[in-house]
Structure 1
Amino acid sequence: MTESAVPMRTPDAVAIDDTVLPFQVDALDVRGRVVRLGPMVDEILRKHEYPEPVSKLLGEAIVLGTLLGTALKIEGRFILQTQTDGIVPMLVVDYRAPGDVRACARFDKEKIGEQIAAKGGEAAALLGRGHMAMTIDQGSNTSRYQGLVEIAGDLQAAAHEYFYRSEQIPTRLRLAVAEDFRAEDGGMRRRWRAGGMMVQFLPKSELRARQRDFDPGDAPAGAVVPEMKEDDSWAEAQALVETVEPIELIDPALSHERLLFRLFHERGVRVFENQEVRAQCSCSQDRITDMLSRFSQDDRDHMVENGKISVTCEFCNTNYIVDPAELPPAEKQ
């Protein structure tokens, strides 16, 4: 289909939660995705009942993992995980194509209360310093790919650094998470909402896509390195994305398409089919039983309490009860 044959229409006014909308602005050589999460992110966070700052931090990770996971044209899993020295030392988001998401966090229960009282739960203090790993797993017959990037208290900044150093694709991300208060039968109801946007500069010309060398680069010591001018189209795209307010990314009354039209209507923006995402864990009674069957008899005996083995899924907080007598005999060590 030629550019002139692309159908034109007014932006859809209907906002659809738990979807990711890919888009493209040909005039600026940028592609991107907009995600808005409602019931999905609320279900994940409510099951854990983390302290509010931890829930917000995990919500940001869920948005980031969803943006990156749905951008991959593969079948398999995309796993985002942080390991840091902060009060929240671990965040995990597990995205499984075509749209299943689960997530969890670990935090220091003693220190989180002190942090909230002292600084209101600032994300930088909660995360601390460490690294963020992004893993692509396409199945048992393929090799895993993993990219690592340093993290210093900010998920968004770490993702920018990853794309700059590992993918060498100019990328701009926006993440937003908040609680929505609404009147319902029985009183006010609090629900988590989240949203985000990812824009990438993908010109046909490799020359236009060049970025500055990593410090110190290939220049001899003492040499004057000329400053690399940012491409005008990419500068314009970033400036437009910066105008997006956090509320616009989570507003249930503002559709993806209307937001994109506000940003790029002068240049023209194309949208593609929405991708649905949902909160869905992969645990089950059969999986738990299979896992326990691999343990030694001694390990199983130490797990038994009141004649049963109790296992709680770290991702969805579901508790499974297994009768040891139903497990197959343990292999002799």
Structure 2
Amino acid sequence: MMDTIPGLGQFDFAGDDHVVPFQVEGLDVRGRAVQLGPMLDAILERHNYPLPVARLVAETVVLTVLLGTSLKFEGKLIVQTKSDGPVDLVVADFATPDRVRAYARFDEAALQAAIDKGETLPQQLLGEGILAFTIDQGAHMQRYQGIVPLDGASLEEIAGVYFRQSEQIPTKVRLGVAELLDRDEQGKPRHRWRAGGMVAQFLPEAPERMRQPDLSGGDGAQEHELEIDDLWDEARVMVETIDADELTDPTVGTERLLYRLFHERGVRVYPPQAVYDRCACSREKIRDVLASLSQEELDETVEEGAISVTCEFCSTTYRFEATEVRPQ
């Protein structure tokens, strides 16, 4: 949609469900930003998660979209938590160039007990465990996986630790989720979700400028004193000023937010990339999986002469007659 940004005149906004790559040459910063609306709504509505779980899934989807759209090859990025809390699994994956899916697993009784106690912060819902980032480039390439402990107060903090440990690139992550209550065209109450996020990275031409203080090794170990590059310090502080409402408010928009943050340093935005709620499951794929099972395993799944399989991501149920599937 066409709109106006002060100093830039008419501007074609990316709108919802489009990732906007950007560069701030004056700060040696590159990144991506996004606002998610209908795509996220479709994922969450399909599962009808309790509100605290929906927020966790929404944040994971935003993080996955921001990182997945940076892939320069055909493949998949999987972001997954695995932990001992009421929500023991949250997973989202991005398949190039634009497909997103996600789901969460939780213990209903434990989750309700946590909600009754008011323990709905991410670290309280997830408990102790790991956050894993897996890059899959296909059957003929080795998978890469980075793992960090779930020892932060938010996915923002945990993702920041991942970048410090695995990529060693100064990185700032911001994530926001908003629950909207309004009415549809017929005046009926309507519940909607929005989310937004930004990843900013410091990528100067001189690699030595990217050095950061060492992470503490624990047991009273002290970080080495190291002066943070002035430009990255400025960029980091700017990103930290983002209010959660700015990340999700459609009247602000991704480009307006970027202009507000970086216009004095000269921000450049690149063509947006659309992302879609699209599952990779299909009847053919599931039939192939069933065909790979032994006869004994198949017999255990047959009920009333048929086999039913429900995709955890998109909740689609596939039904096969037992005679359709034969072990290899």
Give the TM-score taking structure 2 as reference length.
0.92
Equivalent AA in structure 1 for residue 191 of structure 2 = R
1:270 is displaced (CA, Å) by 0.5
Whether the aligned pair in 1 keeps the contact of 2:14 and 2:20 (CA below 8 Å) is no
1:215 is displaced (CA, Å) by 3.9
Identity of aligned residues (%): 49
CA distance in 2, matches of 1:111, 1:26: 49
2:261 is matched with 263
CA distance in 2, matches of 1:295, 1:224: 54
Whether 1:63 and 2:62 are equivalent positions in the alignment is: yes
CA distance in 2, matches of 1:289, 1:280: 19
Which of 238, 241, 245 is equivalent to 2:239?
Answer: 241
Deviations 1:8-54 (A, max 9, x none): 94373645110100000011111111011111111111111111100
1:155 is matched with 155
1:308 is matched with 306
Whether the aligned pair in 1 keeps the contact of 2:35 and 2:253 (CA below 8 Å) is no
Which protein has the larger Cα radius of gyration, Structure 1 or Structure 2? Answer: 1
CA distance in 2, matches of 1:30, 1:224: 29
2:3 is matched with none
User: Which residues of 2 match residues 167-246 of structure 1 at below 5 A?
Assistant: 167-186=167-186, 187-215=188-216, 227-246=225-244
CA distance in 2, matches of 1:15, 1:224: 45
- Structure 1 residues 190 and 120: CA distance shift in structure 2, 3 A: farther
CA distance in 2, matches of 1:138, 1:168: 22
- Structure 1 residues 108 and 224: CA distance shift in structure 2, 3 A: closer
Helix, strand or coil: the match of 1:208? helix
Whether 1:299 and 2:300 are equivalent positions in the alignment is: no
Helix, strand or coil: the match of 1:12? strand
* Mean Cα deviation higher: 60-69 or 293-302: 293-302
Whether the aligned pair in 2 keeps the contact of 1:15 and 1:254 (CA below 8 Å) is no
- Structure 1 residues 258 and 309: CA distance shift in structure 2, 3 A: same
Whether the aligned pair in 1 keeps the contact of 2:179 and 2:193 (CA below 8 Å) is yes
CA distance in 1, matches of 2:122, 2:318: 33
Deviations 1:118-174 (A, max 9, x none): 115222200111111111111111111111111125321111011111111011011
Whether 1:12 and 2:29 are equivalent positions in the alignment is: no
Equivalent AA in structure 2 for residue 107 of structure 1 = F
CA distance in 2, matches of 1:212, 1:315: 40
Deviations 1:275-330 (A, max 9, x none): 110010011111111111111112111111122111110111111111111123x2
User: Which residues of 2 match residues 131-150 of structure 1 at below 5 A?
Assistant: 131-150=130-149
The gaps in structure 2 that reach 5 residues or longer are 1-6
CA distance in 2, matches of 1:268, 1:211: 25
CA distance in 1, matches of 2:16, 2:209: 36
CA distance in 1, matches of 2:224, 2:13: 48
Count residues in correspondence: 319
Equivalent AA in structure 2 for residue 91 of structure 1 = V
The gaps in structure 1 that reach 5 residues or longer are 1-7, 218-222
Give the TM-score taking structure 1 as reference length.
0.91
CA distance in 2, matches of 1:226, 1:15: 42
Equivalent AA in structure 2 for residue 178 of structure 1 = A
